[in-house]
Amino acid sequence: MRLLLLTNHSPGPTRDCVSAVASNGKPITPIQIDVAGDSLAFANPVTDSTGNAFITYNPGRYDGVLVLVPTADGFEDIGWDIKHIRYSGKRAYYYAKLNGPGPDGRYTITQFNNDCEPSCAGGSVTSQVLHWDGHDYVR
């Protein structure tokens, strides 16, 4: 499979695209994602020992990690949280950092959370490290 990042270099936030072509030349449905500037990039290496592919992005405030989990027909559905906004979802970890790969050849994802108490600027930021369990990223 060949992965491509298609970016729009217009000023301000844009909707960029992750496109894939199967080894037989068949195109796979593109994945659109909201990004700001030139923040859409492949992880290095792109895949880890799980076979998942990783792309980093930033829609304008915090970094995110997009995980492409292969299926027979392409990739699992990203599961966007909001249908018309494309930066957070089941496989799009917003306010997150990619770590690794570690000695086991796997990436982990550090997911951050701000409780915004008493305000988002003064809130407490916590984090948790997520590991692949064969089906999902879990604590």
Q: Alpha-carbon dihedral of residues 74, 37, 79, 46, nearest 10 degrees?
A: 40
CB 77 within 8 A of CB 48: no
CB 102 within 8 A of CB 109: no
1-7 long-range contacts (CB < 8 A, ≥24 apart) are 1/28, 1/70, 3/42, 3/46, 3/53, 3/68, 5/40, 5/41, 5/42, 5/55, 6/30, 7/35, 7/38, 7/40
Question: Which tens digits make up the pLDDT trace of 110-127?
Answer: 999 999 999 999 999 999
Question: Which tens digits make up the pLDDT trace of 5-35?
Answer: 998 877 777 789 999 998 888 889 999 999 9
Q: What pLDDT does residue 37 have?
A: 81
Q: Where in the sequence is the domain holding 124, given as residue range(s)?
A: 2-138
Question: Which tens digits make up the pLDDT trace of 80-106?
Answer: 999 888 999 999 999 999 999 999 999
Q: What pLDDT does residue 65 have?
A: 98
Domain count of the fold of the chain: 1
